[in-house]
Amino acid sequence: MKLASKMIVALIVLAPIAEAQYADSSRGVRVLRERGCLNCHSLAGAGGSEAAAPDLGRPRADTFSPAGFAAGLWNHSPDMWAAMADRDGQISDLSAQDVRDVYSFLYSIRYFDPPGRHERGKEVFESLHCQRCHAIVGADVAGIGPPVAAWPSMTDPVAFLEAMWNHGDVMDEETSAMGYPWPKLTVWDLADLSAYVENVPVTAARAARLKLGPPEAGMKVFADLSCSACHTLTGEAPDKIALLQRVRDRRTLTALAASMWNHRPVMREWSEETGIPLRAFETGQMANLLSYLFEEGVLEARGDAGRGEQVFQTKGCGGCHSEGAAALPDGDPSGSEIVSGMWRHGPKMRAEVIRQGGEWPQLSDRDLTDLITWLAGR
């Protein structure tokens, strides 16, 4: 498996089952507390001592990808290490499991999704005729669908995505009976709709929770639900869609939900032509499938390998990481292991930068994406 397929979205990707627990958002909150992150950063408005430190419990409009967040973490690391050393004389460790859990928490609050606008979400809800079947609180419409208050929490994108897909058969029948076309959703539509639903009083108090499953089980789901009949990860089957070779950008869980929803009419036609039924997800199968897709890098943004090599040289990486010096590590580490390794390696690198009188290399979202794409082809 290529290195890039495990790096960026990878922060909630699961390492081999024998070596790691599954990513869990509730453990991620504990990591933020136990590693001292909340000494400076607030969490949903609580705690924190530095006004300039971002609130780690609220989505940010300027952080729209795991690569962007990881780059920001890297750029800010020297300041964080210095603050930790001044406070208690040591730098907190950050294991691969810690990374998986923290990013699971960030995904559970849709930290990487575009900021939703609940006012527009109401317009989306009405324009797509959702109110014809779904009551907001349970009694304001005699619809056949469950009221919004009974929906799976939209703060858990995995559970919501699973329920959203399973709702497709009934939705298809109703839209056809009413003469409506299948409603298409952009990632912005779904983000706004999510914000609107979460502002409904009966749903606003539901806590965020995201827990993934084993990627090996997800690979089986990919086959059992007939995804593999049309899709392949690479280009080894020319008659199938190669998911790893398609252009991808900003592939958040909300974007995946919108993409799967919009893809359903095509899958319905395929089902009618082949006689293979579209199957619903059993509870937990979506969590397994997502961990498999993340593990394989299907949802990562694709970068420019040529530019990535330039980043490696212009940022000074080649000065230490080259043959005969500190060679880049071999093997096939998971993304969470790579991020953990960067954190552990950083203080030593910072000391070397200071010794040489240089400046800490800054990385942008694109820099990191291109660099990882180049590393994949080495």
pLDDT digits (tens, 9 = 90+) for 243-298: 776 655 556 777 778 888 888 898 888 898 989 888 889 988 888 888 787 667 67
Number of domains in the chain: 2
**What was the pLDDT predicted at 3?**
30
Last residue of a domain, one of 254, 278, 295: 295
- 118 and 102 in a common domain: no
- 236 and 190 in a common domain: yes
pLDDT: which is higher, 318 or 229? 229
**Region 145-171: what's the mean pLDDT?**
77
What are 322-368's pLDDT values in tens digits? 654 455 555 445 556 767 777 888 888 888 888 888 888 898 888 88
Domain with 161, as residue range(s), is 112-295
- 149 and 263 in a common domain: yes
**What was the pLDDT predicted at 310?**
92
Q: Which band of pLDDT confidence, cut at 50, 70 and 90, is reported for residue 1?
A: very low
pLDDT: which is higher, 10 or 75? 75
- 119 and 104 in a common domain: no
- 335 and 287 in a common domain: no
**What was the pLDDT predicted at 249?**
53
> CA distances (Å), 134 to each of 130, 140, 169, 215, in order?
6, 9, 16, 34
Last residue of a domain, one of 227, 261, 295: 295
Alpha-carbon dihedral sign for residues 369, 329, 72, 26: positive
- For residue 378, pLDDT beyond 80: no
**What was the pLDDT predicted at 8?**
32
DSSP label at residue 277: P
pLDDT: which is higher, 209 or 12? 209
What are 98-140's pLDDT values in tens digits? 888 888 788 777 777 777 888 898 899 888 888 888 887 655 5
Percent of the chain with pLDDT over 90: 3
- 101 and 117 in a common domain: no
- 240 and 322 in a common domain: no
**What was the pLDDT predicted at 299?**
63
For helices 168-178 and 157-166, the axis angle rounded to 10 degrees is: 50
Which of 42-51, 87-96, 181-190 is modeled with the greatest confidence? 181-190
User: Which spans in the chain are helix H?
Assistant: 25-34, 66-88, 96-108, 118-127, 157-166, 168-178, 187-198, 215-224, 253-274, 285-296, 305-314, 335-355, 365-376
- 147 and 129 in a common domain: yes
- 100 and 160 in a common domain: no
Alpha-carbon dihedral sign for residues 306, 311, 316, 321: negative
* Paired tokens of 81: 């290490």
0.85 exceeded by pTM: no
- 247 and 136 in a common domain: yes
Which of 169-173, 195-199, 370-374 is modeled with the greatest confidence? 169-173
Cβ(105)–Cβ(210) below 8 Å: yes
Please state, rounded to an integer, the average pLDDT across all residues of the chain.
76
> CA distances (Å), 32 to each of 90, 198, 230, 251, 339, in order?
16, 25, 41, 25, 16
What are 195-226's pLDDT values in tens digits? 887 777 765 555 656 667 777 888 899 999 88
* Paired tokens of 207: 């806590």
The count of other CB atoms within 10 Å of the CB of residue 144 is 11
Own/partner contacts of 134-137, CB < 8 Å, gap of 24 or more, are 136/200, 137/200, 137/201, 137/202
- 229 and 256 in a common domain: yes
- For residue 372, pLDDT beyond 70: yes
- 101 and 70 in a common domain: yes
**What was the pLDDT predicted at 323?**
52
Q: Which band of pLDDT confidence, cut at 50, 70 and 90, is reported for residue 18?
A: very low
Last residue of a domain, one of 247, 264, 295: 295
